[in-house]
Structure 1
Amino acid sequence: MTPPVKNRPSHTTRASRISEAVVEALAAKRDADPLSVTPLYNAIDPEALDMLFAPTLDSSVRPGGTVRFQLTDCEVKVTVEDGDAHVEITHCTEQT
């Protein structure tokens, strides 16, 4: 299981995977249904994103880190600190 996901500054989620949290955060930023936003796989492999911060094979917690990528016109930043994942969506200019 990936770390618990928190979205800053205002979006909250019940997503259990980081990739789902990114889609939810983008949809919230767009005030849109998650199924209507640009697919995450257009920018990054969702499974690879989830595995990057998933526990190791012996269930150890991975050290924190940050991943940034562009999805359509938005910058996405995923940061894991102390076992919590934070998703930030910024610099969006147009609705897609």
Structure 2
Amino acid sequence: MTPPDSPREEDEDLRTAVASDAYTSKIPSDADRSPTVCVVEAVSEAIDTDLTELQPLYDAIDPDALDQLIGPPHRFTGGRIRFRYEGCTVTVDADGWIAVSSGLNDGA
């Protein structure tokens, strides 16, 4: 059992846990945009593609569920969500970091 004051491996900062070539972005805590919009914007930026040219996010993951897990007031407190979208692996952690990696060997 891990003592409460000990850092856990899953608490590792997402930016250090993903491939070095991954694009990272942070969901602002006071964002006036939903977390799913922030995720789509991060993917758009990472693959240098206009937002209007991306497939609907719901083809990859339930956007309402993602918003409920990531956004207030029910934000999850630990772990990561990982899914494939637009040929990339998208990882979102409990701290609001988004990593977009184009690698196929990144664990998704």
Same fold by TM-score, threshold 0.5 exceeded? Answer: yes
1:23-74 C-alpha deviation (Å, 9 max, x unpaired): 0011101212112112111100111100013313xxxx64232100011311
| 2:66 aligned with 1:55 | no
Q: Which blocks of at least 5 consecutive residues in structure 2 are unaligned?
A: 1-14, 16-21
Secondary structure of the 1:48 match is helix
Paired residues of 2:60 and 2:83 also in contact (CA < 8 A): yes
Identity of aligned residues (%): 32
Amino acid at match of 1:73: G
Of residues 40, 45, 52, the one that matches 1:23 is: 40
**Structure 1 ranges of 4+ moved more than 4 A:** 7-15
Aligned length: 80
| Alpha-carbon contact 1:13-1:24 (below 8 Å) kept | no
Give the number of the structure whose residues are more often strand, by fraction.
1
RMSD of aligned alpha carbons: 2.7
Question: Aligned pair in 2 of structure 1 residues 62, 76: CA closer, same or farther (>3 Å)?
Answer: closer
Q: How does 1:79-90 map to 2 (within 5 A)?
A: 79-81=93-95, 85-90=96-101
| 1:88 partner amino acid | A
Task: Find out whether 1:66 has 2:80 as its counterpart.
Answer: yes
| Structure 1 residue runs without a partner (length 5+) | 1-6
Q: Which TM-score applies when normalising by structure 2?
A: 0.60
